[in-house]
Amino acid sequence: MADTTGFLKYDRELPPRRPVDVRILDWKDVYLARQNGEDAVFPVAAVRQQAARCMDCGIPFCHHGCPLGNLIPEWNDLARRDDWRDAIDRLHATNNFPEFTGKLCPAPCEGACVLNLQESPVTIKQIEWEIIDQAFQQGFVEPQTPQERTGKKVAVIGSGPAGLATAQQLTRAGHDVTVYERADRIGGLLRYGIPEFKMEKALLDRRLDQMRAEGTRFVTGVEVGGRARVTCRPSSCARSTTPSSWPAGRRSAGTCLPPGGSSTASIWRWSTCPTATGRRSASSTTRRSALRASTS
């Protein structure tokens, strides 16, 4: 049962930010909370007080405001009661990576909070971050290896947040999952699109270590594709190429597939047309063919 009068006893409070003249010297997190072991800056007790402000409304608008459907009133109350293990279980029930959303999400849940009528919503985002931080500190986040293997292979293209969540779920279901990434490191948007002061990359690496321990494979530096669409000179193609060697409908549109294009090409290898003047990215059909080849 939530503390239904908590919002009357405690004001909304967030961790203090690091001074600007200090922040400009590095790329570390903006907030002081829980950095370098400085628990006194924004202690756990303060987070629990903030969690006590949640009224567990009869209609939890915060729950509906969350794109993931997080069970916000439930884990708010568990945080208030200092039950971090059950809190992370409820948080992980709808969110594979709460440490990412706890740092990066614009928190529409707070905008939907009933207390936002007085412009002082529950600090849901901060509580979410505290739950996952406590879970890692206390060893509650462990590799979850499947009890049985299905023997099926799955290729996941791209290692952004969606690809990583997909890979984690499929690995835990017992499949052999390989994540392919064209960059030199895993993470996609989380690695190359988010600055360090918004989310330090150590948080990403920590989660990747868990996924590797569960059995997910990561392959970097590969461009996944097969048969490539290439820009051609249609007149040259018409003179130099046997029409039957080209897929139907590909001889007059200015783009074409190389001879023998109906067969499956090897993964992440571009084919070329003898009359090509440039290349374009592989079609969706090409990608599907390459995936079938890679997982067969």
pLDDT band at 276; cut points 50, 70, 90: very low
Percent of the chain with pLDDT over 90: 62
Average pLDDT over residues 40-67: 90
Is 209's pLDDT higher than 60? yes
pLDDT band at 42; cut points 50, 70, 90: confident
CATH topology of domain 153-220: FAD/NAD(P)-binding domain (3.50.50)
Please tell me the predicted confidence (pLDDT) of residue 292.
Answer: 56
Is 230's pLDDT higher than 70? no
Please tell me the predicted confidence (pLDDT) of residue 32.
Answer: 77
Q: Please name the residues in contact with 9: beta carbons below 8 A apart, sequence gap of 6 or more.
A: 3, 52
Stated pTM of the model: 0.74
Among 26-30, 111-115, 230-234, name the one with the lowest average pLDDT: 230-234
* Ranges assigned E (strand) in the chain: 153-157, 176-181, 217-220, 230-232, 255-256, 276-279
Is 294's pLDDT higher than 60? no
Please tell me the predicted confidence (pLDDT) of residue 205.
Answer: 97
Is 54's pLDDT higher than 80? yes
**Around 267, how many Cα atoms within 13 Å sit in the side-chain half-sphere?**
18
Average pLDDT over residues 44-52: 94
Sign of the dihedral defined by the CA atoms of residues 265, 269, 270, 272, in that order: negative
Residue 83: which H helix or E strand, with range?
A: none
Q: How far apart are CA 173 and CA 23, in angstroms?
A: 43
Is 275's pLDDT higher than 50? no
Please tell me the predicted confidence (pLDDT) of residue 226.
Answer: 53
User: Which residue intervals of the chain bear CATH 1.10.1060.10?
Assistant: 6-137
Is 1's pLDDT higher than 90? no
User: Which residue intervals of the chain bear CATH 3.50.50.60?
Assistant: 153-220
Is 184's pLDDT higher than 70? yes
Is 278's pLDDT higher than 80? no
Please tell me the predicted confidence (pLDDT) of residue 94.
Answer: 95
Please tell me the predicted confidence (pLDDT) of residue 288.
Answer: 52
Please tell us whether the domain made up of 6-137 is placed in CATH 1.10.10.370: no
